[in-house]
Structure 1
Amino acid sequence: MSVPLPIEVNDDRQEPIYYQIEEQIKALIVSGYLPADTALPSIRALAADLGCSVITTRRAYQNLEQEGYIKTYRGKGTFVQEVGSKERSILKERAVQDALRQAVRTARQHEYTDAEIKRLLTMVLGEER
């Protein structure tokens, strides 16, 4: 029996839906929310839950499998792979850096200066305490 995944996709975001799915599943694995050997929903079930196409979820699962986060066993299902603590630490840092890079790109598209970006980051940090 697989666990329901607490992920959401948003058509209004710049990132493709498959990428949104990948990144959220990676975060759930790296954070330990989805430990090794946890069964994931089938591609069809996840597509139905998220209201997206089977092709989209298949691409996300294929990319996750190529990166070693999950493994699919024919006739059994798809399961979370073990991620070592050192690798987990590196992946968590990389995920945060990627999110910050995206935030900076968005700010630059809106012509914010470095000082304005720092001010916004400080403000958001204060809100999240």
Structure 2
Amino acid sequence: MKIIISNSSDEPIYEQITTQIKNNIFSEQLNEGDALPSIRNLAIELRISVSTTKRAYEKLEMEGFINTVHGKGSYVAGQNKELLRERKMKIIEDKLTEAIEESKFIDLSLDDLKELLDILSENTK
């Protein structure tokens, strides 16, 4: 599992970690029962504080993405694929709503916005 931290991001480091681990679970690069690096080892690898990685793992556990067994480590929890899909859909809906709201500030039409989405979609294939 590779996690990349951006110091120039507005997103807090613990959120960057949780987002990337969630994305690895969504994309099935991490599967149920897979062990995550220890909090200490991940902190060393990323050159960040242990408290930051601990916070990320606590958030992931609270949201049901991982289970932590005291003294043994943290593991990917069993996931309801439909629930995961719904969570991801909600994130996409929120971002699209934000894009629509932002487009209104520059009088970008819905057709122009759709065209932009088509162009971006083609560029990510």
Tell whether the structures are fold-level matches, with TM greater than 0.5. Answer: yes
d(CA) in 1 for partners of 2:90, 2:58: 20
Q: Which structure has the larger Rg over C-alpha atoms?
A: 2
| Residue in structure 2 matched with residue 92 of structure 1 by the alignment | 88
Once the two structures are superposed, residues 68-117 of structure 1 have per-residue CA deviations (whole angstroms, 9 ceiling, x without a partner) of 11111111110010011211221232343455567x39x94xx6544465
1:32 to 28, 44, 65: 28
Structure 1 unpaired stretches of 5+: none
| Residue in structure 1 matched with residue 58 of structure 2 by the alignment | 62
Once the two structures are superposed, residues 43-71 of structure 1 have per-residue CA deviations (whole angstroms, 9 ceiling, x without a partner) of 11111222221111111100111111111
Q: Using a 3 Å threshold, how does the CA distance of structure 1 residues 99 and 49 change in structure 2: closer, same or farther? A: farther
What fraction of aligned residue pairs are identical, expressed as a percent? 37
Q: Using a 3 Å threshold, how does the CA distance of structure 1 residues 78 and 98 change in structure 2: closer, same or farther? A: farther
d(CA) in 2 for partners of 1:128, 1:29: 20
What amino acid does structure 2 have at the position aligned with 1:36?
E
Stretch moving more, 111-120 or 40-49:
111-120
Q: Using a 3 Å threshold, how does the CA distance of structure 1 residues 19 and 122 change in structure 2: closer, same or farther? A: same
Stretch moving more, 45-54 or 58-67:
45-54
Task: Find the residue that maps to 1:18 and give its secondary structure.
Answer: helix
- TM score, norm. by length of structure 1: 0.79
1:11 paired to 2:7: yes
- TM score, norm. by length of structure 2: 0.81
